[in-house]
């Protein structure tokens, strides 16, 4: 049966073209990545290094999205606090090449781990190597030798701890103990300090900006946190985390090829477990990229149970891949 042209037009109008899908934003990509992490809780904040503007944030607990996880200091800072300790050590005169010999301290620190004993201290690392490998005993020893409570507290506050840096951002608490051993443990990233993902990203941006913190308030307030040469040295040390250190496997395949191509990433991992009232394993990554011309800083945290699907540095790699997928990143950032 032939259909007349007039009827064809009517049939076409009855079957309209499907609506064009809304462009995917970086925030929706983050939500997808967090869902894929299969974690109890996870969150990611992405910040523009130049302006301090929040480009995207996403949080997720076991039941669904929870953006407040980006703004609350719900996780221990763990070894991310080593960035603060390293800055304080560098400005107290300790060189990145300062060599320290140690034993123990891999998972926990005991008082004897802070004592020098040539018979036991058979492993040695420089401060730079210790940061990339997150060697607890080296940081505890150096902090005990060179930093008192006032020093560590001053640098923690300079990096924004105890301060409301952004509207609706919960201040990250930092309780620096007076006891020498507990203070050394804190300097190495054991307890007493908590951190939000947005604050974590801002800490990374300080190093990326040459020691300045820029806050997206009004015209953008800028304050000096550490000297420019300190930030430059610390940035070189943070780059080693992804090239030779604790995050190498997240940013390179088995053949050593970088997942982000020519885009190098500087950053720091952190991990810590709490067992009261239930077992909670926290895994951090904070960093910025490209390392040689920083554009974006990230703070990523994953809370797992005894079994886990991914860690903070692997999730951070995926976040950065999502950001850099489009060269301009304007579509992904929703700009």
Q: Are 287 and 238 spatial neighbours (Cβ–Cβ below 8 Å)? A: yes
User: What length is written for the chain?
Assistant: 335
The DSSP secondary structure of 17-83, one letter per residue, reads PPPPPPPPPHHHHHHHHHHHTT-SEEEEEEEETTT--EEEEEEEETTEE-GGGGTS--EE-GGGGHH
245 burial level (CB within 10 Å; 0-12, 13-18, 19+): buried
Place of tokens 């781990």: 113
Q: Which helix (H) or strand (E) holds 187?
A: helix 180-188
Closest CA to 74 of 328, 266, 299, 327: 299
What tens digit of pLDDT does each residue of 145-168 get? 999 999 999 999 999 999 999 889
- Assess if residue 277 is contained within a domain: yes
Provide φ and ψ at 273, rounded to 5°.
Answer: -115, 140
> Alpha-carbon distance 73 to 90, whole Å?
27
- Assess if residue 1 is contained within a domain: no
- Assess if residue 138 is contained within a domain: yes
Q: Please tell me the total count of domains within the chain.
A: 1
Residue 40: what pLDDT? 96
- Assess if residue 335 is contained within a domain: no
For the chain, state the CA radius of gyration: 23
- Assess if residue 330 is contained within a domain: no
What tens digit of pLDDT does each residue of 93-119 get? 999 999 999 998 888 899 999 999 999
- What the block records as the tokens of 310 is 């991914």
- The structure's pTM equals 0.91
- Assess if residue 2 is contained within a domain: no
Q: What is the CATH number of the domain that holds 127?
A: 3.40.710.10
Closest CA to 156 of 109, 113, 189, 114: 189
Residue 105: what pLDDT? 87
Q: Which helix (H) or strand (E) holds 229?
A: helix 228-243
Provide φ and ψ at 36, rounded to 5°.
Answer: -70, -15
> Alpha-carbon distance 100 to 138, whole Å?
6
- Assess if residue 6 is contained within a domain: no
> Alpha-carbon distance 45 to 260, whole Å?
19
Residue 283, SS3 per DSSP:
strand
Close Cβ partners of 255 (under 8 Å, ≥ 6 residues apart): none
- Assess if residue 244 is contained within a domain: yes
Cβ atoms within 10 Å, residue 218: 6
Beta bridge partners of 109: none
Provide φ and ψ at 139, rounded to 5°.
Answer: -65, -40
Q: Are 241 and 131 spatial neighbours (Cβ–Cβ below 8 Å)? A: yes
Q: Which domain holds residue 315?
A: 23-324
**What is the mean pLDDT, run by run of 10 residues, along the chain of 335 residues?**
40 41 80 96 97 95 94 98 98 98 90 95 97 98 98 98 92 97 97 97 98 79 96 98 98 96 97 93 98 98 95 98 71 42
């Amino acid at each position: 049966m032939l259909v007349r042209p007039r009827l064809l037009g009517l049939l076409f109008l009855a079957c309209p073209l499907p609506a064009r899908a809304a462009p995917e934003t970086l925030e929706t990509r983050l939500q997808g990545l967090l869902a894929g992490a299969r974690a109890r809780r996870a969150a990611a904040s992405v910040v523009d290094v130049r302006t301090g503007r929040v480009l995207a944030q996403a949080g997720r607990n076991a039941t669904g999205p929870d953006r407040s996880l980006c703004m609350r200091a719900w996780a221990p800072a763990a070894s991310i606090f080593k960035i603060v300790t390293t800055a304080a050590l560098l400005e107290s005169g300790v060189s990145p090449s300062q060599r320290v010999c140690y034993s123990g301290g891999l998972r926990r620190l005991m008082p004897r781990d802070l004592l020098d004993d040539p018979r036991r201290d058979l492993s040695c690392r420089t401060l730079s190597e210790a940061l990339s490998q997150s060697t607890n005993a080296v940081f505890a020893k150096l902090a005990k030798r060179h930093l008192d409570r006032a020093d560590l507290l001053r640098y923690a506050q300079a990096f924004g701890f105890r301060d409301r840096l952004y509207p609706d951002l919960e201040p990250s608490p930092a309780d620096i103990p007076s006891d020498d051993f507990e203070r050394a443990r804190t300097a190495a990233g054991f307890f007493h300090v908590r951190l939000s993902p947005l604050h974590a990203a801002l800490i990374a941006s300080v190093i990326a900006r040459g020691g300045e913190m820029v806050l997206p308030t009004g015209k953008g307030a800028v304050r000096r946190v550490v000297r420019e040469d300190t930030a430059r040295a610390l940035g070189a040390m943070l780059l080693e985390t992804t090239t030779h250190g604790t995050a190498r496997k997240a940013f390179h395949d088995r053949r050593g090829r970088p997942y982000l191509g020519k885009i190098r990433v500087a950053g720091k991992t952190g991990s810590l477990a709490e067992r009261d009232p239930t077992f909670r394993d926290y895994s951090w990554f904070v960093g910025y990229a490209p390392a040689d011309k920083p554009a974006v800083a990230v703070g990523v945290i994953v809370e797992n149970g005894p079994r886990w699907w991914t860690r903070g540095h692997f999730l951070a790699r995926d976040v950065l891949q999502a950001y850099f997928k489009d060269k301009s990143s304007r579509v992904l950032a929703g700009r």
